[in-house]
Chains A and B, each alone.
Chain A
Amino acid sequence: MNMAAKYKKKDNIAGRNIAGESFLIPVCGQPADMENIFVLNPLADFIWQRLDGQQTLAKILEAIVSSFAVAGDQARTDMTDFVGQLLENGLIEEVA
């Protein structure tokens, strides 16, 4: 994954924080998809908050390493896995 890339959230999903839990709620798409709610763990939520089209993946990784007790390699794997899954589900897009 290109660490210089920037991604932003698409408008087909809304992030919600409810009672300390972080959810991704579908906004549009197929009616059947409206039931596909995702709950994010704290690291995923941390990344999600930073997918704002401004920060590169490298910068997000840096922030993860300085905020979580996780080794750089593991953090990179977790982040790229998560970003890959968001891309696969069509929830984010790369910013030129």
Chain B
Amino acid sequence: MSSMCEQVTGLADKQYWEGFSRDLQSRRVPFSGSLALTHRCNLRCVHCYAKEYTPKREIPEPELSTEQWLAIIADVKEAGCLYLLLTGGEPLLREDFPEIYTFAKRSGFLVTVFSNGTLVSDRIVKLFNELPPRLVEISLYGAAAETHDRITGIPGSFTQAMQGIKKMLDQGIHVGLKSVLMTLNRDEFSAIEDLAHGLGVEFRLDAAIFPTLAGDPTPTDLRVSPQQAVALEMADPERARAWRDFYERFKIIPSGNKVFACNAGKTNFHVDPDGRLYPCLIARSRNYSLVQGNFQEGWNGEIALIREEEVNDDYRCADCDKKSICGFCPGFFGLENGQSQLPSDYICAIGKLRHEYITNERCGG
């Protein structure tokens, strides 16, 4: 279109979005948010960070009603949110998912859905076909049914997920796959990646398992060693190159005196099924009930305070040059060690190994 109206998506417009992002950060606009519509799930994944909420719970966790979610979506629209992630638990377990999704789409959000893929009915495919999501990201934990089902705890879940993925792909819906690397699937990790590439979809690897949101560290027993995690990451030349490029671009994170150097509570937010607003999914030290008040009150009040938290004199991460590549996350530290300024040794080891790999590769040309 003409200069009155320009298309600003895509690589060619990187400059526009980078400038706009800086503006959003300086003005603290909640541009990107996730809504966990439910913590209920039909799977029982061994590593799940929300697993306390799903099995054998006598009193189910309170969940917002349809009307409450729609009101929150209207509020975050008003506040400037554009990227909206609908997640769970398994968001498709909510009967009113189509209503919430349709409202978000028609309100002008760029909507992504995280799902386990097992509940992709014809009705959902039709919905996504009519109102295409930006992305539906499915978690797949194995290339073989046996591995995936062992991790999810539900026989048949791999077959169901693959059927769901194929149904969506047949309709041209934008699907991506992601997986979590753990001791139970490390030997077939490249096969999962091959499976994704075979389907012609993007694949995302998550190497970091963290304790549950309620503080149970058991899932971390499933972590592979930092050496194995980084070796697997860097085995893919494209991913290794991406890490190198990323480090080149962001290697110097200004140390500053604030704990949260990321976008949590700055341009990002998260809402739990009970309506509690957090700075992000992982940072749980502050929250605000959207049942008691509205989004702007929470965002400008309790959530804003996280941005003011200052680092201690002995904070190990303050001047670390690996902070941009270790997976640095004060929220993660809080879950793992109970304190946002007490770094995770696991994350630290991964950062050192990535740095070693990147700098050695660069020296080697």
Docked Cα-Cα span, A86 to B319, in Å, equals 51
Of the A-B pairs whose beta carbons lie under 8 Å apart in the complex, a sample of 29, sorted by A's number, is: A15-B108, A19-B24, A19-B29, A21-B20, A24-B5, A25-B82, A25-B109, A28-B105, A28-B130, A28-B131, A29-B132, A30-B132, A34-B133, A34-B174, A35-B10, A37-B8, A37-B9, A38-B6, A38-B8, A39-B8, A40-B4, A41-B3, A41-B4, A78-B4, A81-B2, A81-B4, A82-B1, A82-B4, A89-B1
Question: Nearest Cβ distance between residue B25 and chain A, in whole angstroms?
Answer: 10
Q: 16 more A-B contacts (CB under 8 A) besides A44-B4, A89-B1?
A: A14-B106, A18-B31, A18-B80, A19-B20, A19-B27, A19-B29, A23-B108, A24-B5, A27-B108, A35-B134, A37-B8, A40-B4, A41-B3, A44-B5, A82-B1, A82-B2
Residues B130 and A85 in contact, CB atoms below 8 Å apart: no
Q: Which residue of A has the minimal Cβ distance to B3? A: A41
Say if the beta carbon of A65 comes within 8 Å of chain B.
no
A11 interface residue (CB < 8 Å to B): yes
Q: Which of B103-123 contact A (CB under 8 A)?
A: 105-110
- Give chain A's interface residues, CB within 8 Å of chain B: 11, 14-16, 18-19, 21, 23-25, 27-31, 33-41, 43-44, 78, 81-82, 85-86, 89
Cross-chain contact A31 with B31 (CB below 8 angstroms): no
Among B1, B77, B106, B110: residue with most chain A CB under 10 A: B1
Q: How many A-B residue pairs have CB under 8 A?
A: 86
- Asked if B16 is an interface residue, CB under 8 A from chain A, the answer is yes
How far apart sit A16 and B20, CA to CA, in the bound complex (Å)? Answer: 15
Chain B contact residues (Cβ within 8 angstroms of A): what range? 20 to 34
Interface readout for B179-210 with A: 1 if CB under 8 Å, 0 if not?
Answer: 00000000000000000000000000000000
Could you tell me if B110 and A39 are in contact, using CB atoms closer than 8 angstroms? no
Alpha-carbon distance between A14 and B73 when the two chains are bound, in angstroms: 15
For the complex of A and B, list the 3 residue pairs with the smallest distance between their C-beta atoms, beginning with the closest. Answer: A14-B108, A44-B4, A31-B132
Q: Does B106 contact A85, Cβ atoms closer than 8 Å?
A: no
CB distance from B136 to the nearest CB of A (A): 10
Tell yes or no: B221 within 8 A of A by CB. Answer: no
CA distance A25 to B2 in the complex (A): 17
Is B245 on the interface with A (CB-CB < 8 A)? Answer: no
Query: Which of A24, A34, A78 has most B Cβ within 10 Å?
Result: A34
Q: Scan residues 86-113 of chain B and give those whose CB is less than 8 A from a CB of chain A.
A: 105-110
How far apart are the CA atoms of A50 and B174 in the complex, in Å?
34
Are the C-beta atoms of B5 and A40 separated by less than 8 Å? yes
Determine which of A25, A31, A43, A85 lies in contact with B1 in the assembled complex, contact meaning CB atoms within 8 Å.
A85
How far apart sit A29 and B133, CA to CA, in the bound complex (Å)?
Answer: 11
A31-B174, A37-B9 in contact; A25/B110 too (CB < 8 A)? yes
* B9 in contact with A85 (CB, 8 Å): no
Q: With A and B bound together, what is the CA distance between A31 and B23 in angstroms?
A: 29
Chain B contacts of A36 at CB under 8 A? 7, 9
Taking CB atoms, residues of chain B closer than 8 Å to A23 are: 8, 82, 108
B172–A31 contact, CB under 8 A? Answer: yes
Output the least CB separation between A38 and chain B (Å): 5
Q: How far apart are B187's CB and chain A's nearest CB, in angstroms?
A: 34
A39-B6 in contact (CB<8A) = yes
Cα(A31)–Cα(B130), bound, Å: 9
CA distance A91 to B312 in the complex (A): 54
Question: How many Å lie between the Cα of A29 and that of B273 in the bound state?
Answer: 30
Question: Given A18-B80, A19-B29, are A34 and B2 neighbors across the interface (CB < 8 Å)?
Answer: no
